[in-house]
Chains A and B, each alone.
Chain A
Amino acid sequence: MDTIDRRRFLGMMGASAAALTAAPALSACGAGFGGGSSAGGGSAADEVTGAFDWKRAQGKTIKALLNKHPYTDALIADLKAFSEQTGIQVKYDVFPEDNYFDKLTVDLSSGRASYDVFMLGAYMVWQYGPPGWLEDLGPWMRNTAATSAEWDPGDFFPNLLQADQWSLKYGTPLGQGGQYALPWGWETNVVAYNTEVFGKLGLKPAETLDELIEMAATIKRKAPGAGFDGMYGVAVRGSRSWATIHPGFMTMYSRYGLKDFVMEGGKLKPAMNDPRAVEFTRKWADMVKNGGAPSWTSYTWYQCSSDLGAKKAAMLFDADSAAYFQAIKGASPASGKIAFHPGPKGPDGSLATNMWVWSLGMNAKSENKTAAWLFLQWATGKEHLRKAALEGNHIDPVRKSISQDAAYKDKMKDLQGFLDTFEAVADQTKIQFTPQTQFFDATTSWAAALQEIYGGKDAAGVLNGLAKDLAPKVAG
């Protein structure tokens, strides 16, 4: 009988292992390493014909990935209405914001269709759009067989719809190209303040950045003597994350007419080391040092918001919703004593404001696109959003009709200055960043630079280093 020789056996095993290893590796090479692209070949929306029908995808089940948020709570509370209207079931996973985007990024980059729809911010379109992970919703919106006449895209604030629309080309402005998500909830970045401490110290909201800086330091110095033990002046985000740059910092940066990048010779060039930008950044870091939270470098919106509610911070320069959740009745020790103000103007009186848009998008790999589109339509439609604004805490309506709704205004009227502030900044609120795919790297590095300046390093040196590091990455 032919016995198995040890060398022969090991040789066979080695060859098998090599074959097993090489096959997927080679296929990965040819197939483009997973991910894939949706480019080419029209839209699935074209397959939807006939009259519009909410029951078109009856019996289907879609899966949603959601971030833990009061807006999400309002959506989940109303999901039964969607299922009754369409016959579609929605399964969902909810993750806290700390993990949410990592989960979504990994999931989309895997090229699977584990979630048909998901929440995302407009900035994520710059990251998820170019690899072809997001369905272009434009063809769906334009197809009258797929879209209800009542959905009314003209009712959205135009800057919000444009925020999710991009050509996928470095540095080109928003509002052109595909519609990669739909606005669902948004936030303007304004100043919220504690009326009690302002009253005791005889203060009025700051109209310029210099006033704000001085006021923050004054409050930190005087508030404990006025009965507000441990209170500091102004809460702004400070963690080493992109999220530190986009609210108060970018809003005030834009009001000073400053840019993150400029286009030169068809290439993006970092502009955060412009002398005026350096001066502004130094001022911002000084404001935090003299009037901000003691452990600012770890501050996310959760800490900023809760400090305002706990009467630890006299002011919050962040999303209006972050203050709203503390201001509503019974929500925090400071509720009933929180007022809203547009915040300092720029040197030329600018109220340019950066915004965050919670949007809803569709996975380009979804196998339930018709059902997913019906869900997106319903979730961004007038009926659900009105209910979410009135019965839930889905404030800052993305639809003009809801912002003008008497019932909505009545609900918000007790929040001092909220509606006036909203109306003062709404038209000047837009995404102030330059759209480009390296957004998260650029803003995370920018936040790290801000921390270094706060720690005492020379602002010009740090920002020059940042610009040098970013230049090749964003050159396109």
Chain B
Amino acid sequence: MAALTETEAAAEAAPAPGRPDAPRRVPRWRRSLRPYLLIVPALLLTGGILYPFGLGLYYTIFDFSATKPQPDMVGLENYLTIVKQDAFWRSALVTVMYAVGATAVETVLGVGVALLLNRGTRLGRTLEKVLILPLMIAPVIAAIMWKLMLQPSVGVINYLLRPFGLGGVQWTDTPTGALLSSIMVDVWVYTPFVAILALAGLRSLPRSPFEAAAVDGAGRWFTFRRLTLPMLWPYVLVAVIFRFMDSLKVFDIIYALTEGGPGDSTVVLQIRAYLEAIRFQRYSFGISYMIILWAVVYLASMVLVRYLARAQRRAAEVSQ
């Protein structure tokens, strides 16, 4: 049979005119408009995001501050001043150390916890429910809670460590201690997030490659390294991308725990921006810090997303 043209096929599919179940003919102009109406929410949403962003970007080319409400245009001077400051580079380093440290530990622990829970024991199922608890607590509350627990003299952590001769640890009083303590709180709050994503990934992996490996007599380590991990990696990477981007933007945990101290040791870029814009009221300067932070997060996430695409292709190859 000869192929029908598009018009003929449409005419054949349509009910005969005059029949009661015949659909009402939609005017052509309405059909043309429909796709555009459908994208209106998306356009509004995009505008809602881009407008404040654009306005913020615009403010950075002025020297707008509380003491200068009628600002001059200064071009890129705010950015140049920032990158010339030692304080900026110290903050950038602390931010990267925090983000890399927190994300790495959370990934390793999260995947480990997910592997343990995936065994399907009764204990595992109970722990799954407990696991989500830290995620239900606002990070700032978690930080305050940990601040109390880490108090050297009255905190429960030193109390528990006392029998081991470690009761006098000054958790947040030294630069290294403050950074590690902040990372520890981040790990406590967000490891469950990684674990839940990894667990979901583990449960969605195809069975056949594992059955084939078992038939071939492959060991546990070999199966994990050659099958589980490559196929799970895209799921883990999604968690890594979220956690890394979030950790680069951290504010609440560090501010509640250390206020950026001692000295400048935990002043991450977000805290520096807050101090500049809100505390010291140098608005343009503060926003410039935020724009720099945004650029860093954007570039980092772009690299990770590209890597994610490669990982997904590799995982698809392994699962076939």
Contacts and interface: CB of A to CB of B under 8 A. Distances in A.
Contacts, number: 126
Given A25-B55, A295-B152, A127 B281 contact: yes
Interface string B26-49: 001100110010000001000100
Interface in B271-309: 275, 278-281, 283
Contacts of A34: 69
A9 interface: yes
A13 interface: yes
Contacts of A17: 43, 47, 50
B70 A32 contact: yes
Contacts of A25: 54-55, 58
A431 to B, nearest CB: 19
Interface residues of A, number: 52
B51 A33 contact: no
B119 to A, nearest CB: 41
A4 interface: yes
Contacts of B51: 20-21
A309 B87 CA distance: 39
A238 to B, nearest CB: 9
Interface residues of B, number: 45
B320 interface: no
A441 interface: yes
Nearest to A34: B69
A1 B29 contact: yes
B281 A297 contact: no
B16 to A, nearest CB: 27
A66 interface: no
Given A106-B278, A131-B69, A294-B170, A20 B47 contact: yes
Interface in A9-45: 9, 13, 17, 20-21, 24-25, 28-29, 32-37
A410 interface: no
Contact of B28 (A3, A29, A109, A130): A3
22 contacts: A3-B28, A3-B32, A4-B36, A21-B55, A32-B70, A33-B64, A33-B283, A34-B69, A128-B66, A130-B67, A131-B67, A240-B261, A294-B173, A295-B172, A296-B173, A297-B262, A298-B147, A441-B279, A449-B263, A454-B262, A455-B174, A457-B263
Query: Which 9 residue pairs are nearest across A and B when measured between Cβ atoms?
Result: A240-B261, A452-B263, A451-B262, A35-B69, A294-B152, A441-B280, A297-B262, A32-B70, A240-B259
Interface of B: 28-29, 32-33, 36, 43, 47, 50-51, 54-55, 58-59, 62, 64, 66-67, 69-71, 87, 147, 151-153, 168, 170-175, 258-264, 275, 278-281, 283
